[in-house]
Every structure is written in C-alpha cells, then in structure tokens.
Amino acid sequence: GPTSAKGYNHTDQYIHLTDEKPADNMYPVISHPEQEQQAREKLAALEAKVGKKPNILVFLLDDVGWMDLGFNGGGIAVGNDTPTMDKLANEGLILTSAYATPSCSPTRATIHTGQNPLHHGVLRPPMYGEPGGLEGETTMPSILQQLGYVTQGVGKWHMGENQGSLPQNVGYDDFRGFLGVSDMYTEWRDTYFNPEVALSPDRFAMMEKETFNHNEVHCSPADTSKCEDLRLIDLDTIKQLDEDWMKYSIDFLKRMKGSEQPFFLYHATRGCHFDNYPSDKWAGRSRARTSYGDCIVQMDYILDQLVKTLEEIGELENTLIFLTSDNEPECEIPPHGQTPFRGCKGSSWEGGVRVPTFAYWKDMIAPRKSEGLFDLADLFNTSISLAGKPGKEVAEFVDDKTYIDGIDQVGMLLSDNGQSARRSRPYTLNQYWAGLRIDEFKFVWTGEIEDGIVQR
Ligand code: CA
C-alpha cells in the first residue's frame, strides 16, 4: 500500500537515460567507459601472456527451455541433472534476460549477422528445401577469418541450403553437420508418430524425393558449389549425430593445440529438438527417463567433454564459452522442455524467446547473475570486439546501408559487476515487429493469442 518511503534505484535501470548510436547504422547503447577500459586492460594483459586473441566457443542448444538447466532452477528438479552446465554457469555470468527469436533459423542468422530478422530477412525456418538464408550477408565468422581466426562449424546449420548460404561460403573453414533441422529427416520415417506417411509407400517415396539434402554433410572451401554427403540420416543414424559431432569438435580442438591462430568454434547441437531418439548409451539416463530428459543429460556430457579438451590443450584460460538456446521450448510435441514464462517456441512472449544463457571464461569473468538485457545479436559485435574491433569499429566490415542490431557487450562480460550496454531490446514475430523491452517494461505491438495474431 501507500508508503512514505523513497524506494530504491538499481544500477541497471535505464528507462530514464538516453542511449546513443555508436554509428548511424548501429543500435544505440548506454556507454560505460570505465567498464570498457577495465575490460580492455584485462584483454590486453591476457593477450600479452598468451600471444594471440581469445578463442570463442558458442555452444548452441536447440529448443531447450529457460528452466531445463539446473542453473536456472531446473536440472535435477525437472528430471535431468546438468552438473557441468551448472558448474560453469555458477563460475561465470548467468544472463537471466538473454533473448533469441521465436524460432531456429531467425536466431541462428541473428547470431551470424548481428541483425534482427526484419533486417537479415530469415523470418522463419526454411523447410524441406525452401530457399532463404545467409546469401549476401556479412557474417561473424567471415569477419573473424579476416581477423586471423580459424573458423569451425559443427552440427545443425538450418540457415539455408542454397549455394550462397552454405557454411563454406559464409565464413567457415570447415563444417560438418546437417543443413536442415532434426525432424525434417525423421518425422516422415517414424511409423509411431506419423503413420499416415511412414506407412504409405507412395507418400514415403514422395518424401524421399523432396529436394532437400537428406544426408549428414561435410562442407569445405575446397568445393564452394556443394557439400559432400557423408551418410543418410534416418531413425538409426540420427541417434549417433550428437556423439559424432562432439568427437569432431574434440578433434578440431586437439588440432588447435599450440596454434598461433585463435579459433571460433560454433558447436550447434541436434539436441534437444523434437523428435529425440536417444542412443542405447543414453536411453534412460535421465531421472525423467524421457527421450527429452535423456537428451539434456547427453548435452551436459558433451559440453563437459569439450571443456575437458580445452583444458587438455591448454586453451581454457584463453576461451570464452557461451552457452545458449536458439528459442524457448517447443510445447506441442511432448516430451519437451520447461520455461517459467508465458508462451513457447514460435511466440514472442517471454516463454518463446528468453533463453537459458551463460558466459564462462576462466579467471576473466567474475561469477554472478545479471538481469541486464542481452540479445543474441550481441554475440556478433562482442565476438568481433574480442577479435580486436571494439564498439563502432565493427561497422568497418559492412556497408552503411546495413544496420547492425547487435551491441558490443565485452564491458558487461569482463568488468567487475559489469552492466549491460543495452537499454532496449526489440522483439520480432515472423514478419512482424512484435515489441520492445526496456528495463522490466515490455510494450507489445504484435502478440499471439489463442485465436490468432493481433496487432495494435
Ligand atoms: Ca530451435
């Protein structure tokens, strides 16, 4: 009720402040010069010690919910223990307000371009061979290549199968994975989930002929015209992908031992997008004993193995590890993930886009949680900043008609109790402008309700 108390201000409330554009084609920021200076000093000291720029590992989960992981209150409490993620998160910076877009491909393209979907144009996932992707975009790995990085992509692509969007043509030195999304390879093969296709020879044959690549692939700049097919993905081989991709990333890291060049490793898991098919090794390993829970437990193991390898090759201290999910849980096909927020994958309510996220960097990031706004577009600027082009310098790599929605968050990550440089965060929903968050306020322009989409 009414009180005569004056109340409190919190350090990361910004609505009363004015943000400023670093350049005309860049999203405005709240600048924190002292944070920036401290972060730069830490980076310079590390570079003087190791003799190169820092490595970056982006560990991107698929359809994993905000509360599936123990550091956000899930983990063992929801049937799938995540000890590795919890340990790293609690020794790093847990971002409680980190934002993806409502679905897979728009988020992946946002990470790669630093743009929101209305700017990069991947408004929804391309399915079953549809065009649409990264062609013509300036991508984060392509800039990192120019700045001397070795760039490795592993796992789920789903940013377009057309030639111009293939991994080797948008900045990757090497890629192994699949070009689409997990269920595209399996749903029509499964006699239990989709008997109307799987048990109809004519329909099944139609799906076999669909013009998307049905295989796990290897992509290399040695052949820019296409990727090499490795094996057909079916109900058996799907079980093996995450394990084999883990081994592929481990082999890459081992090759990086003693390298004079820093690396960017984009490890995008198959898990835990529906439908999950645990291998014999993982079936029943979660307390929940669901295919989804078993997958979460496996993802935790995979991260553990990558971190152990970083330690073995002596690169853990020089590597930023960033874990996140491409959207919140899918909620129509059980078993699925957990979120405490309204909505699910596909919507711009918080339960569609506010994703489980932490940044870990041994001895560089102080353990804490932040409610400060972080958009996954910020990974673009932040990575390029770590590679030596901070703040507005990222604009050197794009033409002045290209708008960069990401923000350099190096100061937030690396300085003591660093605050977000982001005052506001825009939401999109397919082709719609959906809303804007500032502090704890969210203004909704376009929202999904039970009977459809409504706009102001
Ligand atoms: Ca997804």
Convert the pLDDT of each residue in 245-285 to its tens digit.
999 999 999 999 999 999 999 999 999 999 999 999 999 99
CA angle 246–248–250, rounded 5-degree value: 70
**Rounded Cα–Cα distance for residues 274 and 69 (Å):** 17
Structure tokens at 138: 């300036």
Would you call 225 exposed, middle or buried from its count of C-beta atoms within 10 A (0-12, 13-18, 19+)?
exposed
Tell me, in angstroms, the distance from the centre of ligand 1 to residue 454's CA.
Answer: 24
The H or E element spanning position 178 is: strand 174-178
Q: Which two tokens stand for residue 405?
A: 């929605």
Cα(100)–Cα(102) distance, integer angstroms: 7
Q: Which pLDDT value is given to residue 308?
A: 98
What is the whole-number distance in angstroms between the Cα of residue 75 and the centre of ligand 1? 19
How many Å lie between the centroid of ligand 1 and the Cα of residue 171? 22
Distance between CA atoms of 239 and 221, rounded to whole angstroms? 28
* 345 Cα to the center of ligand 1, angstroms: 8
Tell me what pLDDT residue 384 has. Answer: 98
Calculate how far, in angstroms, residue 410's C-alpha sits from the geometric centre of ligand 1: 26
Give dist(CA 247, CA 229) in Å, integer. Answer: 18
Give me Rg for the CA atoms of the chain. Answer: 21
What is the distance between the alpha carbons of residues 47 and 72, in angstroms, rounded to a whole number?
33
Which residue type is seen at 27? Y
Q: From the CA of 327, how far away is ligand 1's center (Å)? A: 5
Using a CB cutoff of 5 Å, list residues around ligand 1, an ion. Answer: 62-63, 104, 326-327
Cα four-point dihedral sign 221, 225, 229, 234: positive
Strand partners, 265: 57, 152
H helix or E strand, kind and range, residue 117: helix 117-120
pLDDT score for 455: 78
CA angle 272, 243, 252 (to 5 degrees): 115
Determine the Cα–Cα distance for residues 189 and 195; give it in Å rounded to an integer: 8
DSSP 171: T
CA torsion 274-275-280-286 (nearest 10°) is 40
Q: What is the pLDDT of residue 131?
A: 82
Distance CA 331, CA 184 (A): 18
Distance 61 CA to ligand 1 centre (A): 8
- The packing angle between helices 83-90 and 291-312, to 10°, is 50
CB 404 within 8 A of CB 137: no
CA–centroid distance, residue 92 to ligand 1 (Å): 24
pTM exceeds 0.75 for this model: yes
Query: What pLDDT score was predicted for residue 449?
Result: 79
> For residue 104, how far is its CA from the centre of ligand 1 (angstroms)?
4
Q: Which residues does 344 contact at the CB level (< 8 Å), separation at least 6? A: 328, 329, 330, 331, 332, 351, 352
Q: Tell me the CA–centroid distance for residue 121 and ligand 1, in Å.
A: 17
Distance separating alpha carbons of residues 158 and 289, to the nearest angstrom: 29
Distance 299 CA to ligand 1 centre (A): 15
Six token digits for residue 93: 């910076």
Report the pLDDT value the prediction gives residue 166, as an integer from 0 to 100: 97
**447: nearest Cα among 316, 337, 346, 301:** 346
Provide the pLDDT for residue 318. Answer: 98
The stretches in the chain having pLDDT less than 70 are none
Ligand 1 centroid to 208 CA: how many Å?
24
